[in-house]
Amino acid sequence: MSLYDEGHTIAGWTGFGVATVGGTVAGLGVCAASLPVAGGGLVVVAVSVAVTWALHLSGWGKPPGVRPRDQWGMRVRDTRAREGHPGCVSCRLAGRGRSVAAVAARSAAEPVAPAPAE
């Protein structure tokens, strides 16, 4: 089983649900040849992006990459969301977090403690 567990979050599933409704409404608008209905569906799809982003930034989304098993549950809120996740586009767009290169440079500069002798 993968350790990445991407997308299994409240933010991800809520965004998916809202986008599905928007896509359905837009499709119905196309089939009915109704520009206002199709446009309304596309507006709902755009709202799904905003809803997903807001939920991610409030801690209901998870950072990209490997996470410990105890963080896999959908109802587990991410307490590190306020600082931003390294390498996360959503956090960078909100002005949070650091780039992956900055985190790698910082960890390369930190001294590594030697392993204990056995």
Residues 66-82 have pLDDT tens digits of: 777 777 777 888 877 78
Q: What distance lies between CA 20 and its chain's CA centroid?
A: 17
Note the pLDDT tens digit of each residue in 40-59.
Answer: 999 999 999 999 999 988 88
pTM: 0.70
20-25: long-range contacts, CB 8 A cutoff, minimum separation 24: 22/46, 22/47, 22/48
Cα 28 from Cα 45, distance rounded (Å): 14
Which residues neighbour 117 within 8 Å (Cβ) at sequence distance 6 or greater? none
Q: What is the DSSP letter of 60?
A: I
